[in-house]
Amino acid sequence: MSSNLTRRGFMNTAALGAGATALASPALAQGGTELKMLMCWPKNFPGLGTSAERFAERVSTASDGALRIKVFGAGEIVAPFEVLDAVASGAGDITHCTSYYWFGKDPAFVYFATVPFGLTADEHFTWLKFGGGQELWDKLGAEHGVKPLAVLNTGAQMGGWFKEEIKSAADLQGLRLRYPGLGGQMLATLGATPVNIPGGELFTALQSGTIDGLEWIAPWNDLAFGFHRAAKHYYYPGFHEMGHTISSYVNIDVWEGLNDAERSILQSAADAEYATSLAEYNARNLAALNTLTSEHDVQLHRWPDDIIAAMQEVAPEITAASAAKSPMATEIHENWVAFREEQRQWGDIGEYANAELKEKG
């Protein structure tokens, strides 16, 4: 590694403050390189945490141990909402988190996580690979000192958990709901108050009454978090997250200090884990949902029609208003919208048409 990595890591770690542990970035040991991965969720948590470990294992195996990733759970080095700054500053080397946590830095980040009524998991990966998405993402990342990789997708998510049944839009009035990103802004138009809370704190917030409802991911993860012990009303569809991409941002100096083979290993491992994680979520969600409804008395509800209609109406306006807040977001939004329309045209002929046949078969 070049010496500028150590200088940049030391200087910026000191500037990060007491919340970060001063660690050299990256570590060189036993003839190899070890990258510190800072996650926004608990270590080894089903899906999110286990996928990160599997990604790390892929990298180590492909490099014959010359390139390794050591995974740190939320709070082990910095708090969940601090991991991007920590990695950009050199206090860590690579994140494992969702991009819409960085909405406050630039609203452009949401396009690389999920946008309401947006892209499915397959469509998002296609946009990154063949629609210009990755090039725009690299441009955004460079402005913040990181190189982005898509490393996981949860697939379609659920609408969330509520302590009381939601029968109409009027029932959302005054509720405090953990709904990050643009989805939260949309629900605010119906009188709800969106709040953003890290995943590891959600159950306590729901149980204590700090919030009245929340969305997290889907049945597999939601069952593991035990939300059914604090709320019994579970809603679908997750119109706010039709396919949620999880990202790893690599410190830009670390990325540029790697050789071509090492960068290729990281990219290939990320691509493989994106596909594998999506398959795993799709495989495990139904069994978890059946457990919730049959063993834990969870009541499954479809969102009321008036709420879905209201969300469909406000989504374009809120998304466009958000995109107008930064030049980078505007540029990405225009590309993203054009790609989405092309994919919908193909989907009407291909995937969606086949779905209709399945219903009639």
DSSP states along 247-281:
EEEEEHHHHHHS-HHHHHHHHHHHHHHHHHHHHHH
What six digits make up the tokens of 161?
A: 């958990």
Specify the pLDDT at position 17.
Answer: 39
Specify the pLDDT at position 29.
Answer: 53
Domain 3-156+243-282 matches domain 160-241+295-327 at the CATH topology level: yes
Structure-token match 């884990």, residue found: 273
Pairing of strands 213-214, 233-236: unpaired
CB atoms within 10 A of CB 33: 21
CA quadruple 55, 59, 60, 61: dihedral sign: positive
- Given a contact cutoff of 8 angstroms between Cβ atoms, the answer to whether 59 and 67 are in contact is yes
- Given a contact cutoff of 8 angstroms between Cβ atoms, the answer to whether 33 and 20 are in contact is no
Contacts of 133 (CB under 8 A, 6+ apart): 111, 112, 124, 127, 335, 336, 339
Q: Where are the domains of the chain?
A: 3-156+243-282, 160-241+295-327
Specify the pLDDT at position 346.
Answer: 86
Cα–Cα distance measured from residue 239 to residue 311, given in angstroms and rounded to the nearest whole number: 8
Specify the pLDDT at position 353.
Answer: 65
Residues of the chain with pLDDT under 50: 1-24
Specify the pLDDT at position 359.
Answer: 63
Residue 38's H or E segment, with its range, is: strand 32-39
166 residue type, one letter: I
> H-type helices in the chain, by residue range?
3-16, 48-62, 83-89, 121-130, 133-143, 181-188, 202-208, 219-225, 252-257, 260-295, 305-323, 327-349, 351-360
Specify the pLDDT at position 354.
Answer: 64
Confirm or reject CATH 3.40.190.10 for domain 160-241+295-327, answering yes or no.
yes
Q: What is the pLDDT of residues 77-104, one digit of tens each?
A: 999 999 999 999 999 999 999 999 999 9
Specify the pLDDT at position 323.
Answer: 97
Q: What is the pLDDT of residues 244-297, one digit of tens each?
A: 999 999 999 999 999 999 999 999 999 999 999 999 999 999 999 999 999 999
Cα–Cα distance measured from residue 222 to residue 320, given in angstroms and rounded to the nearest whole number: 31
- Given a contact cutoff of 8 angstroms between Cβ atoms, the answer to whether 84 and 97 are in contact is yes
The pTM for the full model equals 0.89
- As assigned by CATH, the class of the 3-156+243-282 domain is alpha beta
